[in-house]
């Protein structure tokens, strides 16, 4: 099969691209490298630096493609509140530009990386796909708008469209930007360095942390299985973990004590969020294989940044 992955030099995209070429598929990637790193891509992946809104580039890259994985996006929730126009331009505009280019080339299928964050704060947990969204950030708006665009335009253009609402993915190679880093690599890094971690609120807020390999398996199934047109599917683990428990697990797997500082709760904070994954199991044959502590151990084992910290400690 021939695949194009937009945003394929990013955290999820690299894992997906490398697994697909390993299985013998042809993989092309387009990424503007605003957040991605192309060095971690397998040399068999055909990489093009470019913007997902650049249609002439897409026309060339889409030639003979069977499935597009649309992962290119700006991904920070708090940053999206500061720069909503940019989030709308890249995330929504990128999706529309891509669908137009797919129509021009007759590309048959798109799988969108959407997000569990569109559920916002819901009383009843776990959340299934029927729950009406509770949009709290421009990022969430951009992901829901992208879902609507792939389904609506997909119907007009004859493109099969599937959206995976991914919950909190983590694993080796997740980027650690100075502003708004994701919680798992941020806390692991701090704990392994012996520094302190800052928790907003009481630490009892929960999330569904899903290891990258499980997300990749779901993406691959969504690209391969028949009869998924128009489906929205949650990808998490179904396990609810509080921030306090996450820190405890990190202490266990690193053998280090965390210094935890509790700060004021942030406005718009979501108390609980955990995925109902029954639909993913039914439609994709999806069964998460990694517990959070196994995934954290594997992250430390495989991520060079954490491996170095382990090595530095055992030599010190
Ligand atoms: N990681 C998660 O927990 C999670 C959860 C839900 C949804 N998602 C979605 O999955 C996708 C991948 O997320 P990730 O965690 O790998 O993030 P990431 O930031 O590592 O990957 C996104 C990639 O898109 C690229 N990109 C950004 N703007 C672009 C543009 N205009 N043109 C081309 N490329 C561009 C970036 O350089 C980056 O490599 C995103 O769409 C994200 O919204 C991720």
CATH number of the domain that residue 57 is part of: 3.40.50.720
Has residue 21 been placed in a domain? Answer: yes
CA gap 159, 186 in Å, rounded: 39
Instruction: Give me the count of residues in the chain.
Output: 316
pLDDT surpasses 90 at 269: no
Has residue 177 been placed in a domain? Answer: no
Quote the strand ranges of 89-150, DSSP E: 109-115
- Compute how many other C-beta atoms are within 10 angstroms of the C-beta atom of residue 39: 8
pLDDT surpasses 60 at 267: no
Same domain, 159 and 246: no
Same domain, 13 and 146: yes
Measure 10 CA to ligand 1 centroid, in angstroms: 6
Instruction: Report the pLDDT value the prediction gives residue 308, as an integer from 0 to 100.
Output: 87
Q: Is the CB of 58 under 6 A from ligand 1?
A: no
Residue nearest to ligand 1 atom 12, measured at CA: 71
Has residue 72 been placed in a domain? Answer: yes
pLDDT surpasses 60 at 103: yes
Q: Give the percent of the chain with pLDDT over 90.
A: 93
pLDDT surpasses 80 at 7: yes
Q: Is the CB of 97 under 6 A from ligand 1?
A: no
Has residue 285 been placed in a domain? Answer: no
Q: Does the annotation mark 262 as catalytic?
A: no
Q: Is the CB of 185 under 6 A from ligand 1?
A: no
Quote the strand ranges of the chain, DSSP E: 2-6, 26-31, 46-49, 67-70, 109-115, 160-166, 168-170, 196-200, 206-207, 209-211, 231-235, 241-242, 259-263
Same domain, 96 and 19: yes
CA gap 204, 296 in Å, rounded: 20
pLDDT band at residue 310 under the 50/70/90 scheme: confident
Instruction: Report the pLDDT value the prediction gives residue 268, as an integer from 0 to 100.
Output: 66
| C-alpha Rg value of the chain to the nearest Å | 19
Q: Is the CB of 8 under 6 A from ligand 1?
A: no
Residue nearest to ligand 1 atom 40, measured at CA: 71
Measure 119 CA to ligand 1 centroid, in angstroms: 19
Tell me the average pLDDT across 122-130. Answer: 97
Task: List, for residues 146-181, the tens digit of each pLDDT value.
Answer: 999 999 999 999 999 999 999 999 999 999 988 889
Q: Phi then psi for 210, rounded to 5 degrees?
A: -120, 130
Same domain, 255 and 164: no
Same domain, 140 and 197: no
Q: Which domain holds residue 294?
A: 183-207+239-273+290-315
CA gap 297, 302 in Å, rounded: 9
CATH of the domain at 269: 3.90.25.10
Q: Phi then psi for 254, rounded to 5 degrees?
A: -95, -15
Q: Is the CB of 214 under 6 A from ligand 1?
A: no
Instruction: Report the pLDDT value the prediction gives residue 266, as an integer from 0 to 100.
Output: 73
153-157, 242-246, 260-264, 274-278: which range is least confident on average?
260-264
Has residue 175 been placed in a domain? Answer: no
Measure 7 CA to ligand 1 centroid, in angstroms: 6
The residue with tokens 């997000």 is 115
Instruction: Report the pLDDT value the prediction gives residue 314, as an integer from 0 to 100.
Output: 77
Measure 214 CA to ligand 1 centroid, in angstroms: 17
Same domain, 137 and 199: no
Instruction: Report the pLDDT value the prediction gives residue 296, as an integer from 0 to 100.
Output: 98
Has residue 176 been placed in a domain? Answer: no
Count of alpha carbons within 13 angstroms of residue 276, beta-carbon side: 13
Same domain, 92 and 219: yes
pLDDT band at residue 119 under the 50/70/90 scheme: very high
Contacts 24+ apart (CB under 8 A), 185-188: 185/299, 185/303, 187/246, 187/247, 187/250, 187/258, 188/250, 188/254, 188/296, 188/299, 188/300, 188/306
242: β partners: 206
Provide the domain count of the chain.
2
Same domain, 138 and 196: no
Q: Is the CB of 173 under 6 A from ligand 1?
A: no
Same domain, 137 and 217: yes
Residue nearest to ligand 1 atom 41, measured at CA: 71
CA angle 4, 180, 211 (to 5 degrees): 50
Q: Which of 19, 35, 56, 186 to mutate to test the pocket of ligand 1 (most atoms within 8 A of CB)?
A: 35
- Compute how many other C-beta atoms are within 10 angstroms of the C-beta atom of residue 148: 12
Quote the strand ranges of 55-180, DSSP E: 67-70, 109-115, 160-166, 168-170
Instruction: Report the pLDDT value the prediction gives residue 311, as an integer from 0 to 100.
Output: 84
Residue nearest to ligand 1 atom 21, measured at CA: 10
CA gap 8, 26 in Å, rounded: 13
Same domain, 159 and 203: no
Q: Is the CB of 93 under 6 A from ligand 1?
A: no
Q: Phi then psi for 156, rounded to 5 degrees?
A: -65, -40
Q: Is the CB of 51 under 6 A from ligand 1?
A: yes
Residue nearest to ligand 1 atom 43, measured at CA: 75
Cβ atoms of residues 195 and 143 within 8 Å: no
Has residue 278 been placed in a domain? Answer: no
Residue nearest to ligand 1 atom 31, measured at CA: 51
pLDDT band at residue 124 under the 50/70/90 scheme: very high
Same domain, 261 and 145: no
Q: Give the percent of the chain with pLDDT over 70.
A: 99
Task: List, for residues 201-245, the tens digit of each pLDDT value.
Answer: 999 999 999 999 999 999 999 999 999 999 999 999 999 999 999
Task: List, for residues 14-73, the tens digit of each pLDDT value.
Answer: 999 999 999 999 999 999 999 999 999 999 999 999 999 999 999 999 999 999 999 999
Measure 190 CA to ligand 1 centroid, in angstroms: 23
Measure 76 CA to ligand 1 centroid, in angstroms: 9
CA gap 6, 205 in Å, rounded: 32
5: β partners: 29, 69
Cβ atoms of residues 19 and 219 within 8 Å: no
Same domain, 12 and 138: yes
pLDDT band at residue 316 under the 50/70/90 scheme: low
């Amino acid at each position: 099969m021939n695949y194009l992955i937009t945003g394929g030099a990013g955290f999820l995209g690299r894992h997906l691209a490398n697994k697909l070429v390993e299985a013998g598929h042809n993989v092309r990637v387009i990424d503007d490298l605003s957040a991605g790193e192309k060095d971690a891509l397998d040399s068999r992946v055909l990489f093009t630096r470019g913007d997902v809104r650049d249609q002439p580039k897409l026309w060339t890259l889409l030639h003979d493609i069977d499935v597009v994985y649309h992962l290119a996006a700006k991904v920070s929730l708090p940053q999206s509140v500061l720069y909503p126009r940019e989030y709308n331009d890249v995330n929504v505009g990128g999706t529309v530009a891509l669908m137009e280019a797919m129509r021009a080339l007759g590309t048959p299928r798109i799988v969108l990386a959407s997000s569990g964050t569109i559920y916002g704060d819901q009383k009843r947990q776990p959340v299934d796909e029927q729950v009406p969204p509770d949009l709290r950030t421009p990022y969430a708006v951009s992901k829901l708008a992208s879902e609507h665009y792939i389904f609506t335009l997909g119907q007009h253009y004859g493109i099969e469209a599937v959206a995976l609402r991914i919950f909190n993915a983590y694993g080796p190679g997740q980027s650690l930007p100075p502003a708004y880093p994701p919680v798992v690599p941020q806390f692991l890094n701090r704990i392994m360095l012996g520094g302190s971690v800052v928790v907003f609120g009481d630490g009892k807020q929960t999330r569904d942390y899903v290891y990258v390999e499980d997300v990749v398996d779901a993406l691959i199934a969504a690209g391969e299985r028949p009869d998924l047109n128009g489906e929205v599917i949650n990808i998490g683990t179904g396990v609810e973990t509080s921030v306090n428990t996450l820190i405890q697990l990190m202490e266990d797997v690193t053998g280090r004590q965390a210094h935890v500082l509790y700060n004021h709760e942030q406005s718009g904070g979501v108390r609980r969020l955990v995925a109902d994954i029954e639909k993913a199991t039914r439609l994709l044959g999806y069964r998460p294989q990694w517990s959070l502590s196994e995934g954290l151990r594997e992250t430390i084992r495989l991520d060079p940044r954490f491996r170095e910290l382990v090595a530095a400690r055992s030599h010190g």
